[in-house]
Amino acid sequence: MDIKWEGVMPAVTTKFTKEDELDLRMFRINIEAQLAAGVHGIILGGTLGEASTLTENEKEILVKETVDLVNGKVPVILNIAEQTTTGAITAARKAEKFGAAGLMMLPPMRYKADDFETMTYFKEVAQSTDLPIMIYNNPVDYGIEVSLDMFEELLSCDNIKAVKESTRDITNITRIKNRFDDRLKILCGVDTLALESLLIGAEGWVAGLVCAFPEETVAIYELAKMGRIDEAIKIYRWFMPLLELDISPQLVQNIKLAEVATGIGTENVRAPRLPLRGAERERVLRIIEEGVKTRPDLAAFKAMNP
């Protein structure tokens, strides 16, 4: 399937049972809610997907299950986050075998590679697969920044198509557009900067709180692209306290609690993560409860986008 690298692409959570097994029933419920809301792709195995805790067999099950569920409606993209180049190449080949339509790729894990090592890593993986690739550029959390000069060289690989822009420097979007125009598609990777990013040229949004609030997330994107900015801003302002739950070390626990509140998830996480407790749990629950109570009316948006 061809990937346009635009629109809302949920970085979905992985659902677990209380016995620490994949909860495919709840996983299906969530994916169906994403599709019903009109998302443009599904990303598996990211940070929200608790990828570092998943076995290879579980990743295979999740990709195959999702490909079957979406049934060609949207592309399924698997995140690659490996410690070695060989491991990343193997993961990319398996993703293609399992039916993924594309890859999202982080720099090497644990080792802080220099610029040359990072570019070599990305290029060797890109040359090992026909799948299109989105580079995940998140120096804040992962310690390695892919600079524009590095992208200049990486774009010699035809299948490197997009960047998940998570530098937190929103002016970087304009720099990328000035330098590469449409050769490098930009998807915002920080929920609290999403509308601003879309308005200055990002093609899409790799979203987190969409896992619990898919309709509102898609509405913000579609309204922004239609130029109905005031309507998008109104929803975005309501959403912001919830979106801030994504920029936290406990983002997985936060978002899973939000999924419980909207009926499309459970709060089960895989150790060493543990459910929130105490004062922090109460704080997060208050934010979620207020968000659900004041959820915006999307009737006008839905009427224009049946």
Question: Does residue 294 belong to any structural domain of this protein?
Answer: yes
Which tens digits make up the pLDDT trace of 264-289? Answer: 999 999 999 999 999 999 999 999 99
Selection from 152, 167, 219, 235 nearest residue 197 by Cα: 167
User: Cis ω on the peptide bond leading into residue 272 (within 30° of 0)?
Assistant: yes
pLDDT value of position 306: 61
Question: Does residue 132 belong to any structural domain of this protein?
Answer: yes
CA triplet 260, 266, 271: central angle to 5 degrees? 135
pLDDT at residue 303 tops 90: no
Question: What amino acid occupies position 299?
Answer: A
Question: Does residue 168 belong to any structural domain of this protein?
Answer: yes
Give the Cα separation of 23 and 114 in Å (integer): 39
Domain residues for 142? 7-304
Give the Cα separation of 73 and 219 in Å (integer): 19
Give the Cα separation of 196 and 82 in Å (integer): 31
CATH number for the domain harbouring residue 150: 3.20.20.70
Local structure of residue 191 (DSSP, 8 states)? G
- List, in sequence order, every residue forming a beta bridge with 22; answer none if it has no partner: 16
Question: Does residue 1 belong to any structural domain of this protein?
Answer: no
CA triplet 34, 36, 39: central angle to 5 degrees? 50
Contact 268, 18 (CB under 8 A): yes
Question: Does residue 48 belong to any structural domain of this protein?
Answer: yes
pLDDT at residue 300 tops 80: no
pLDDT value of position 287: 98
Contact 182, 201 (CB under 8 A): no
- Domains: count for the chain: 1
Which tens digits make up the pLDDT trace of 22-52? Answer: 999 999 999 999 999 999 999 999 999 999 9
Region of residue 268 (phi > 0: left; psi between -120 and 50: alpha; otherwise: beta) = beta
Selection from 3, 2, 66, 1 nearest residue 32 by Cα: 66
pLDDT value of position 228: 95
Alpha helices, DSSP H only, in the chain?
24-37, 56-70, 85-98, 115-126, 139-142, 148-154, 171-180, 194-199, 214-226, 229-243, 251-261, 278-293, 299-304
pLDDT at residue 138 tops 90: yes
Question: Does residue 52 belong to any structural domain of this protein?
Answer: yes
Question: Does residue 2 belong to any structural domain of this protein?
Answer: no
pTM confidence score = 0.96
**Count of CB atoms situated within 10 Å of the CB of 91:** 22
**Count of CB atoms situated within 10 Å of the CB of 177:** 15
Give the Cα separation of 34 and 211 in Å (integer): 8
pLDDT at residue 304 tops 90: no
CB-facing half-sphere around the CA of 219: CA atoms within 13 A: 25
- Indicate the pLDDT class of residue 74, thresholds 50, 70 and 90: very high
Question: Does residue 96 belong to any structural domain of this protein?
Answer: yes
Contact 234, 296 (CB under 8 A): yes
- Cα 133 from chain centre: 14
**DSSP codes, 90-129:** HHHHHHHHHT-SEEEEPPPSSS---HHHHHHHHHHHHTT-
Give the Cα separation of 292 and 221 in Å (integer): 20
pLDDT at residue 302 tops 80: no
Q: What percent of the chain has pLDDT over 70?
A: 100
Calculate the dihedral angle through the C-alpha atoms of 36, 37, 41, 43, rounding to the nearest 10 degrees. Answer: -100
